[in-house]
Amino acid sequence: MEDGEVSGTNHTHAEAGYDPAYEWPGYTEVPQPTTVLNESLSSNFKPWSLLRLLVQTSSVLPRTQRLAVLDEHKEVQFGRDVAPAGSGTPRVRLKEMAVSKLHATMFWDAVRREWAVVDMGSKHGSFLRPGGYSGPTVSVGEDLGIRLSPSRVASFPRALKHKDALTIGSTTFAVHIHSDRISCEGCSSSGSGDNIIPLFPVSKGVKRAREEVGSIPSEERDAKKALTMLKRTLLSRHDTARSSASSQPSSYVDRSAKRRALFPSSPLDTPGVLSPRSDSPCVASSGSVPMPETPAPPQPLPESNIGRQLLMKQGWQPGTALGSQENASGLVEPLEVSATSNRSGLGMPEKAPTSSSGDWRENGKQKRWADMIDKK
């Protein structure tokens, strides 16, 4: 046999030790690219377990709101105040004094792959009862569970399990955690969504407009049409309020007439007439300034006066001057008191307003009016 010649060309596969069963059968189906599958998973798949909170008992939440849906969030806060403007973190608001402004926080721990709760240093504390809750409501005196931390001290993260009970203030939540992200019958929301607790603040005007837009049937609803209708509704309300305000006639109100009707004894605002301050003690109930009375003529001291008796014991005689009799230069008659008008001094029954008042404009006006009266 020469070189290059194949021996046994007539031998079968069995004789040569070859079996067709070992052959590769080839592709039975056309393989799909893995990138499409990864894109679909990245848009819909959430790496954390589904968390929902079911209200067992509460004195602050409405009776219709019994479920907190946290499917799209990895963190939720609990507190008495509304979340800050622009915050993207949801918050369950419990409006009572037993709840701090920022009381507690639930978050998804990506390292341990579990939900955890942290008390943020509240005063009255957060209580966790592991192992499930005993019934649909918490009875009076029932054990609330373990307090996460002392008063005003932040706690370490505490892991949450399915059907744990978390108590904050007077509200007790039943924790529902589903790793398959499928809600059970107990934590399913109603069809209309009325039992869901709002996690973000919504203004009343926007809420009312959304309700009006939401009343449109789903088959007739369109994004652009809904936005146009929302703008039209808000603008029409603004125009209606403006037109109603402009339609009311602006009539002049005589406040002086009202004051005179309520207070008949108040002084009239007449130009050229002295109008003293209302807080001045010299203003009488009639609204006019009292004029000083003419003082009575001096009268001799009676004999029962103690000062007269002491002077007579020292040698003084009625009708004589005080002092030495050799130099009789003393006054025999008493000083006469002369009353002054429009000024403070002797003879005024009460203290008149002086220029030391703090209102210099009022003082100047009184001075000018007093000069006008004197000239008349």
- How far, CA to CA in Å, does 43 sit from each of 72, 88, 183, 339? 12, 19, 20, 100
For the record, the structure tokens of 292 come out as: 């000083």
Q: What's the longest Cα–Cα distance across the chain? A: 190
User: What single letter denotes the amino acid at residue 138?
Assistant: V
Average pLDDT over residues 349-362: 61
215 pLDDT more than 60: no
Give the per-residue pLDDT at 138: 46
- How far, CA to CA in Å, does 336 sit from each of 38, 307, 322, 331, 347? 116, 20, 18, 12, 11
* Residues in Cβ contact with 309 at an 8 Å cutoff, skipping those fewer than 6 apart: 303
284 pLDDT more than 50: no
Q: What is the pLDDT of residues 51-96, one digit of tens each?
A: 999 999 999 999 999 999 998 899 999 999 998 888 889 999 999 9
Give the per-residue pLDDT at 249: 60
Average pLDDT over residues 276-291: 48
**pTM > 0.85:** no
Average pLDDT over residues 357-376: 81
